[in-house]
Every structure is written in structure tokens, then in C-alpha cells.
Amino acid sequence: MTHLLPANWHTVPPKEHEIPQGCSVVICDASFKEGVAGISVSIRTNGKEYQPFEYSAKSRGPVHAELKAVEKALKRLCKLSPSRSVTSLIIYTDCKYACNFLEQRWTPRRGYIQDVMAGVNKCLHELNTGDLSLVICHTRTKHIRRCDRRARRRREEELDRKRDRVISRIMRVDATIARGREISINESDGYYYAVPKTNGFPPGYRVSLHPVSCSCPWWMHNWADKEEAAVNARALPCKHMCALAEHLGTNVYDVFSHQIERLD
């Protein structure tokens, strides 16, 4: 279908009144930062432009984010009524690398690129009720400026939300450190035991920072049966770990930096 497109359509998305019957135009953009992608999608058909949609998603990089934007756009199109009669589909993206994957000039080798391309191809298969003509167009950001602004705004909103969660975790750890100052640490046979300074009875709870573990009820209930990867990704310290860190002259925030500062 490429040779049938008006010359300016190869780089500039057409307005809805220019689009012929049976043709759907998908405009998508992604804005990536700190593992977070803000995605904006605009869909146009003959005489109609649908309300733009914004999404957020975890991403492994800017190209992955742009391909996720295409996947989200196609999933959205599949839910709209024109998807049942689309005979030609034009996808616009400002990422040349994404175009190379979509046009099958490049073969994805990384697993996360393979996964998102599988999602794209699944949507294209669903849309293709006959002989679907597909055109991938590389456009410049200036031609999809509104889409770009919406994607950046959605990314910043999601990052702000995630940063608020980091602040919340820091406040929780601060409170736990304060409670940990009521705990004494004793050492026996190379192990550390945490005992309340008031009305505590030895031996107390066995506690460790390497690996992080504690025999207290809170830790046992929340983390004892979890895989090490989950603990290292999400667990926050109990008060006995905070007491041990202070006893050893270790900064508990360094021990749990990944869990506290994660943005996923």
C-alpha cells in the first residue's frame, strides 16, 4: 500500500476528513525515564478522531517503550468498531528503531522485545480479517506534538506517584528504626539475637542482615516463605533488623536501598 499513500502521508499523519473508508490511522508515542513509560495513543478513521488515550507501563528502554505504545494502540483499536472492517492500517511512530522491528528489518533478540513484538503481531492477526494492508510510517516528533506532550505528562504523573510511594517507604523505615532502639542485640555462637530492653527474655529472635532474615512473627508471616528474589526486591526491615544495623554501625538504608527506592 506504500505506493498508494499521498506523498506527505509518509511522514505527516492525515486529518480524519482525508482518510478513506476502511482505513485506520494509529498515532502513538512514548516517553521513557527511570524505567517508566508514558504512552499516548490517537486513532483516526474516516471522518472521525477518537478520544486520545494515555497509559503508563514499565519499560526496559526507549525502544521497548515505543513498541509498547504500538501494542497499546493496536489493543485499543481492536476494541473499537472500525476494527471489524479495517482494510488498511497506517501506524505512525517517531522512533526509527521501532520502525525497523515493525517492518521486520530487524529480528528481535532480547526477550522483552520479542514479547512486545508477539503482542503487536497478535493484535495485527486479530485485525486482519482478510487482506490487511499495513504501512509503518516514521514521523518526526513535531508532527505528533500533542501526542508527545500527553505521553510526557503521563510519564511524569506516574513517576510522581511512584516517588510518593518511595517517600512513604522511607517514613515507614524511619518509624521502624525508632522502634528498633527499644531492642538490644546479643551475640551467641556467631549469631545475633534481638531482645527487648524492657521485659525481654533471652535468647530472643535470631536476626541477620546478610542474608536479611528474622525469626520474629512479623517477618515470618510476611517474608519467610517468599523467594529470595522477592525479599530482595520488596521487603522492608523489621525493628530487629534496624536494631542490628545500629549495633553493627551499618546504615539500614544501604542494606535495603533497592527495596526502598524501587520505582516499579
Q: Report the pLDDT value the prediction gives residue 4, as an integer from 0 to 100.
A: 67
Residue pair 28/69 in contact (Cβ under 8 Å)? The answer is yes
pLDDT in tens, 18-51: 999 989 999 999 999 999 999 999 999 999 999 9
Alpha carbons within 13 angstroms on the beta-carbon side of residue 48 total 11
Q: Report the pLDDT value the prediction gives residue 3, as an integer from 0 to 100.
A: 47
Q: Report the pLDDT value the prediction gives residue 83, as an integer from 0 to 100.
A: 62
Residues of the chain with CATH 3.30.420.10: 2-158
Q: What is the CA radius of gyration of the chain?
A: 26
Average pLDDT over residues 142-149: 95
Per-residue pLDDT for 81 more than 80? no
What is the number of helices (H) and of strands (E) in the chain?
Answer: 9, 10
Residue pair 241/206 in contact (Cβ under 8 Å)? The answer is no
Q: Report the pLDDT value the prediction gives residue 86, as an integer from 0 to 100.
A: 86
Average pLDDT over residues 161-171: 94
Q: Report the pLDDT value the prediction gives residue 192, as an integer from 0 to 100.
A: 97
Average pLDDT over residues 82-103: 91
Per-residue pLDDT for 198 more than 90? no
CATH topology of domain 2-158: Nucleotidyltransferase; domain 5 (3.30.420)
- Please state whether the predicted TM-score (pTM) of the whole model is above 0.85: no
Alpha carbons within 13 angstroms on the beta-carbon side of residue 202 total 8
Average pLDDT over residues 186-215: 92
Of the segments 18-22, 91-95, 159-163, which one has the largest average pLDDT value? Answer: 91-95
